[in-house]
Amino acid sequence: MTGSAARRRHPDDPFGRVKEVLGTKSLRVRSAIELHERIVEGLPRSAVVYLVSSLQEIKLDETMRVLNISPRTWHRLKADEAALGKPLDVEQSARVWSMAEILAKAQEVLGTREEAEQWLSRPAIGLDSHRPIDLMATPQGADLVKTLLGQMEHGVYA
């Protein structure tokens, strides 16, 4: 889907693409304040399971590093279907949202989910040849990736 198609798909919901990546379309997030409140309350565990399970081009260990989730915790999250509605903690919620936000933006800029995931996994000249996925493990690195995607969207980097 192209960037303009993604915008048309969620014209009244600026967070729609991210909620779609998380499989949480019904999550009430219509402003930055509401986003903060949802993260403090904790995103549902189902969001992280949906996000991670949907990735095709990004390796599981890389995703776990970005989300700061141990393999043991990941297997527990996946296995306990009864707990999928329970909230993640604040830090996990923030990391999950950040990864989904970057993935949604990369998909909008690059055109497809596959291209977005591949781009995140390859060294980027605009990031001093670091791979975006490696930088996403810290808030500062995630900000660098978001900035580069914004520049790409406006034609600063091809």
**In angstroms, rounded to a whole number, what is the distance separating the alpha carbons of residues 76 and 126?**
37
What pLDDT score does 9 carry?
53
Q: Is 72 helix (H, G, I), strand (E, B) or coil?
A: helix
CA 45 to chain centre: 14
Q: Rg of the chain's alpha carbons, rounded to an integer?
A: 15
pLDDT in tens, 63-91: 999 999 999 999 988 888 888 889 999 99
**In angstroms, rounded to a whole number, what is the distance separating the alpha carbons of residues 39 and 29?**
10
Q: What is the pTM of this model?
A: 0.89
